[in-house]
Structure 1
């Protein structure tokens, strides 16, 4: 139950401009993405409102939108619960991710310049440091930023929009396996940077496809001892 409280420091500040319901929606979505609100957790409007410092109305509106988008399950006479993704749901999304990311890597290898390569190097170093420090939240956030940068370097707006639609769910699925993957993620990223820098589109495609498939496999094995 939510009454146990959110992790200290997990509640984001609602300081961004825009309608309050939008800010509450973004805050709740981020809390679910990072699993501060866990799959299956009961979401009580009054308690969420108190945590976020708002009235119940924008919380109710946000939960309804999140239900429509598949992040929340509204159960008659029971209330709202964070959706628990099935293995099939995760597998389908991670399969689509592989297709999008592999194509982005190929395009990035064709179009990237020295500035883009340097940006990937900086993110890779940041991710390696996060893993070494045991900061898995930062490691996942940096991994997301790394993949977003590859997508940006690909220069295909439609591809980037499609990838953006699955980005948060990828983070949601991959957060629990970040520790399992550990340094392997960043070794693969280093190989990808080398392929992109060499303008080897075929190699970049192969590395990214293998990389995303490894993450997919780790997700399905996450509960094994």
Structure 2
């Protein structure tokens, strides 16, 4: 899952990125409101962490621009401790959740996972697809209750497809959301990764939509 961090304090941004990378996300940093607004409006992210206290173009203005432009990506806003009116403004502008500074990284990751689940139509930390269960807290996959050993990249790919179940996901989108920017990869990296996941989970779990990408079917009754 690809996350944009819009935070002008570089040390905080780097700390958040390191924690998110360790938690199985792919993160990218913007150090200004202008750059964050541009990236959030022109590139695809699964969620955005947005500091409201940005200089020049503040976070609230960035959020309002995104929503006015039709960007529906989930946004977690960071606010100053006790600044309740700023939090209210953030929600009214279209924020999905907030976290006051200073914050614990564990809570940031938990809130981020929660808004990602809600955006995919799930509320619980465990998402079931057929006999498989994706545990987003433990970052593990189970088949009929038995754990399946996946590498971090294999987990990212399966998790992304599960969060977008019922949708055909292109190889380019998987490349952008599964691999970090500095990760070396070839044109066939996604095909090889899908093949490895199928070897562990079964060939029928991930469908190939020739010329379009890959799909995990949406089960009846799932939103």
User: Normalised by the size of structure 1, how large is the TM-score?
Assistant: 0.25
User: Normalised by the size of structure 2, how large is the TM-score?
Assistant: 0.25
State the structure with more CA Rg. Answer: 1
Q: Larger RCO: Structure 1 or Structure 2 (Cα < 8 Å, ≥ 6 residues apart)?
A: 1
Return the structure number with greater strand share. 2
Return the structure number with greater helix share. 1
